[in-house]
Structure 1
Amino acid sequence: MNIKFRLILMNFMQFFIWGSWLITIGAYWFQNKGWSGAQFGAIFSTMGISAIFMPTITGIMVDKFINAEKLYGIMHILGALVLFSIPLVTNPTTFFWVILLNMIFYMPTLSLSITVAYSALKTDGKDVVKDYPPIRIWGTIGFIAALWVVSLTHNETSANQFYIASAVALILGIYSFTLPKCPPLLTTVDNKSIVNLLGLNAFALFKTPKFAIFFAFSMLLGAALQLTNAYGDTFIHDFKNVPAYKDLIAVKYPAIIMSISQVSETLFILAIPFFLRKFGIKYVMLFSMLAWVLRFGLFAFSDPADGLWMIVMSCIVYGMAFDFFNISGSLFIETQTTPEIRGSAQGLFMMMVNGFGAFFGSLISGLVIQSFFTNADQSKNWHGIWLSFAGYALAIAIIFPFIFRYRHNVALARAIQHA
């Protein structure tokens, strides 16, 4: 079977799992459970907590001890078991710990899937910068498909979303063992220091200014990503409480409206090689930051009726906001690090984005929303919420060009010159 097709199938299922519940868990929480918003902020922080340490640990493991595709499969099988148990939870405290366990198994698979894909493509003589983005598109299509399945079957507030995710995770876990072998590259260690023995070599990247700054801003942008994941679907759902909006299509099927974001991703993924070649990672990341400003700013002034076009435009610019940061960042890591530490380096990237970024983004946004933008009847001041998020993204975009002085790298340019 063609290697590209096999990786396409892997990416499709990888993000179908996440899309089955990530955007709609807020609706499930507030509409079905009725637990508090502050508690929900804690639930979403599990993504960050697990990503702080798990991608790095698994990155070390695949660099030194175990085939990446095998560890990838094990994580998905364990995750499937936990997802299946989520609907059985009856109190928010237990829900937190079960979701955390699920995230412990799922978050490392994001970087492991990249490691497996890059290894398989290189073994097959492919150019990862040219060939990976079209493959990664199918992950986004998988996310879209999951949103549509959950929404059209009216499971946005139902526990069935977790059963759907569990079934696909089990299938992917088993399928992973059929993927091309991706053995550890760092099988011998000349220097017997604790750092080398534990496989922590990738942390030395923090000593290099370009990587230290890159990882720092990765964390800040990771927080922005977390904000839109946590509150986008819930924002549209809340319009059902307004009589003038409750019967509109956008309010009835918010997950489908939000899936425009993922459709946009498929287009911007294809543009990544051109933009990286033309502008370099610095400006590509800056474009991402400015896109986040537009994403949140458009939400602030939108509604499902006359302002629906702003919701749609916000979803369209999301493609640039997400792809120009996440996909380009992983390619930057791939082309700027040595093969022996690439698994660990990808883990570090995920740790900063989905770990520290997601954790602090969830924690701080939950407290800010509860303290300043929640009314006495627990309704939300969404206009103020989105404007504050837009201000956060704008501040990052203004600071970034003056801090990250890295110039367009020759090695990266050569890597994408045939894209």
Structure 2
Amino acid sequence: MGIKVRLAILNFLHMGAWGAYLISMGNYFVHIGLASRIGSFYALIGIVSFFTPTIAGIIADRYIQPVRVLGLCHLLCGLGMMVLFYIGGQPDAGMYYSKMYMVYFFCIACYMGSYSLVLSVSYTLLEQENLDTVKHFPSIRVFGSIGFVVLMWITDILNYETTEKQFMLSGIISLLFFLYTFTLPICNHQKQLKHQTLREMFGLNAFGLFKNKELCIFFIFSALLGVNLQIANAYGTPYLSSFSSMAEYADSFAVKHSNILYSLSQISECGCLLLIPFFLKRFGIKAVMLLAMAAWALRFFFMGEGNPGSGLYLLILSMVVYGFAFDFFVISSSIYIDNRAPNNIRSSAQGLFWMMANGVGSSVGSMFAQSVINMNTDVEGKIDWYPSWMSFSVYALIICILFYFMFHTKVEESAESQSDIKASE
């Protein structure tokens, strides 16, 4: 098999392991009586992203072959998911909140360690075959979105949405991923272990990118935009399921198969990924990021205005614009950072970006979303969703306006251009 096909399978399994439970986990916690703790679980995604992507990147850059680090992350995650499946299967599983919390902390720490590594490994293996990452990676990453959707549908069709079996399914995919990494070629990365400063030894050179004004502002806005990442993941399906209490919507497709409806977001990703090379070449990173920010504002606005009946088209539009919101932010930013970072800290630079976007951003976003939801919850536990979604939409719009005025590139990035920015010693 060619390297593009092999990397497509890698991305399919990697995102499939997450898709098996990420969107439906909120429904599961509602089912076992932990609705008020949903935000704390999704906040863990952000919390572990403060350190695990950076640590994994440092190890991959300096000490251990990146493909082996990638496989180890999924092995540990898969085993942890099996433990979570076992705990979740106990009677009155809601009573085991603290145990489930700690096990999920371990699982998501391992998974997030692999997230940025999948990107850097893909970029490196493509370049070893003299293939342009901007041109070829988006079409490979499409299979990650396909994997996410396929596992979402399997979870829905097997009625795993409100059961612990979604964690078992994720664990199986992660273990398959671990085995698959042994079929991949090694990455020709630089291991300079002699005559290193302490800073170099711990891979802290990537933080030198903050000394460049353009990259510093970009990283800050990555964190601010990252606030949006887990909001819809955490509360999207519980929001759709909340319509089941209304007679006119109880038997609607959106309520009965919220996972399948929500998968339109990832299907939209597939199309939007293929647009990234054109948009980056034609308009540059600033315009692409502005489009992503505007899409986040529309995403939340359509969610608030929609319903499973006459407003179903608005819910569908919300799913469609998600492709622009996510891909034009995460994937375009990743390509931009890869082009700007020196070769010897590429994995560390990806880890730094993910720490800002999914670490600082998602952890703050999860807590912010939970506080907004709580403020709009009455004494009987009923949530007024409309003002919540509108608050999220206004936030995204404000970030979009600030980015327009504050971020400036001296020379817009294109598929052919790469900066010679070096991290300070």
TM-score computed with the length of structure 1 as normaliser:
0.96
Q: Which residue is 2:240 aligned to?
A: 236
One of 395, 401, 405 as aligned partner of 1:398: 401
Q: Which residue is 2:216 aligned to?
A: 212
Root mean square deviation of aligned Cα? 1.3
Instruction: Tell me whether 273-282 or 86-95 shows the greater mean CA deviation.
Output: 86-95
Q: Which residue is 1:45 aligned to?
A: 43
Shift of 1:250: 1.1
For residues 364-379 of structure 1, the aligned pairs below 5 Å read 364-370=368-374, 372-379=375-382
- Is the contact between residue 60 and residue 344 of structure 1 (CA under 8 Å) also seen in structure 2? yes
- Is the contact between residue 224 and residue 292 of structure 1 (CA under 8 Å) also seen in structure 2? yes
Q: Which residue is 2:69 aligned to?
A: 71
Shift of 1:221: 1.3
One-letter amino acid of the counterpart of residue 258, structure 2: P
Q: Secondary structure at the match of 1:414?
A: coil
- Is the contact between residue 68 and residue 183 of structure 1 (CA under 8 Å) also seen in structure 2? no
- Is 1:381 equivalent to 2:380 in the alignment? no
Q: 2: CA distance between counterparts of 1:197 and 1:183? A: 19
One of 108, 117, 134 as aligned partner of 1:112: 117
- Is the contact between residue 134 and residue 415 of structure 2 (CA under 8 Å) also seen in structure 1? no
One-letter amino acid of the counterpart of residue 72, structure 1: L
- Is 1:284 equivalent to 2:293 in the alignment? no
Shift of 1:368: 2.4
Q: Which residue is 2:416 aligned to?
A: 414
Q: Which residue is 2:421 aligned to?
A: none
Q: Which residue is 1:84 aligned to?
A: 82
One-letter amino acid of the counterpart of residue 94, structure 1: K
For residues 322-337 of structure 1, the aligned pairs below 5 Å read 322-337=326-341
For residues 242-257 of structure 1, the aligned pairs below 5 Å read 242-257=246-261
- Is the contact between residue 264 and residue 318 of structure 1 (CA under 8 Å) also seen in structure 2? yes
Moved over 6 A (4+): none
Q: 1: CA distance between counterparts of 2:415 and 2:410? A: 11
- Is 1:293 equivalent to 2:297 in the alignment? yes
Shift of 1:184: 3.5
Q: Which residue is 1:34 aligned to?
A: 33
Q: Which residue is 1:9 aligned to?
A: 9
One-letter amino acid of the counterpart of residue 228, structure 1: A
Q: Which residue is 2:268 aligned to?
A: 264
- Is the contact between residue 222 and residue 353 of structure 1 (CA under 8 Å) also seen in structure 2? yes
- Is the contact between residue 26 and residue 35 of structure 2 (CA under 8 Å) also seen in structure 1? no
Q: Which residue is 2:207 aligned to?
A: 203
Shift of 1:407: 4.1
- Is 1:130 equivalent to 2:135 in the alignment? yes
Q: Which residue is 1:23 aligned to?
A: 23
- Is the contact between residue 288 and residue 325 of structure 1 (CA under 8 Å) also seen in structure 2? yes
- Which residues of structure 2 form unaligned runs of 5+? 88-92, 419-425
Q: Deviations over 1:74-107 (max 9, x none)?
A: 1101111100111333321222111111011000
Q: 2: CA distance between counterparts of 1:408 and 1:258? A: 38
Identity over aligned pairs, percent: 39
TM-score computed with the length of structure 2 as normaliser:
0.94
Shift of 1:413: 4.6
Shift of 1:223: 1.0
Q: Which residue is 1:339 aligned to?
A: 343
For residues 174-193 of structure 1, the aligned pairs below 5 Å read 174-190=179-195, 192-193=196-197
- Is the contact between residue 291 and residue 328 of structure 2 (CA under 8 Å) also seen in structure 1? yes
Shift of 1:408: 4.2
- Is 1:166 equivalent to 2:161 in the alignment? no
Say if 1:387 and 1:218 are closer, same or farther in 2 by CA, change over 3 A: same
Q: 2: CA distance between counterparts of 1:415 and 1:86? A: 45
Q: Deviations over 1:247-287 (max 9, x none)?
A: 01111000000000111101110000111111110110010
One-letter amino acid of the counterpart of residue 317, structure 1: V
Q: Deviations over 1:369-395 (max 9, x none)?
A: 11x111111121111110000011011
Shift of 1:403: 0.9
- Which residues of structure 1 form unaligned runs of 5+? none
One-letter amino acid of the counterpart of residue 9, structure 1: I
- Is the contact between residue 373 and residue 385 of structure 2 (CA under 8 Å) also seen in structure 1? no
Q: 2: CA distance between counterparts of 1:157 and 1:415? A: 48
Q: 1: CA distance between counterparts of 2:240 and 2:378? A: 17
- Is 1:352 equivalent to 2:363 in the alignment? no
Q: 1: CA distance between counterparts of 2:234 and 2:131? A: 36
Q: 2: CA distance between counterparts of 1:118 and 1:414? A: 15
Instruction: Tell me whether 126-135 or 80-89 shows the greater mean CA deviation.
Output: 80-89
Q: Deviations over 1:83-138 (max 9, x none)?
A: 01113333212221111110110001111111111111111111111010000000
Q: Secondary structure at the match of 1:322?
A: helix
Q: Deviations over 1:132-169 (max 9, x none)?
A: 00000000000000111001111110111111111110
- Is the contact between residue 280 and residue 407 of structure 1 (CA under 8 Å) also seen in structure 2? no
Shift of 1:211: 1.0
Shift of 1:338: 1.1
Q: 1: CA distance between counterparts of 2:398 and 2:97? A: 34
Q: 1: CA distance between counterparts of 2:404 and 2:34? A: 42
One-letter amino acid of the counterpart of residue 120, structure 1: L
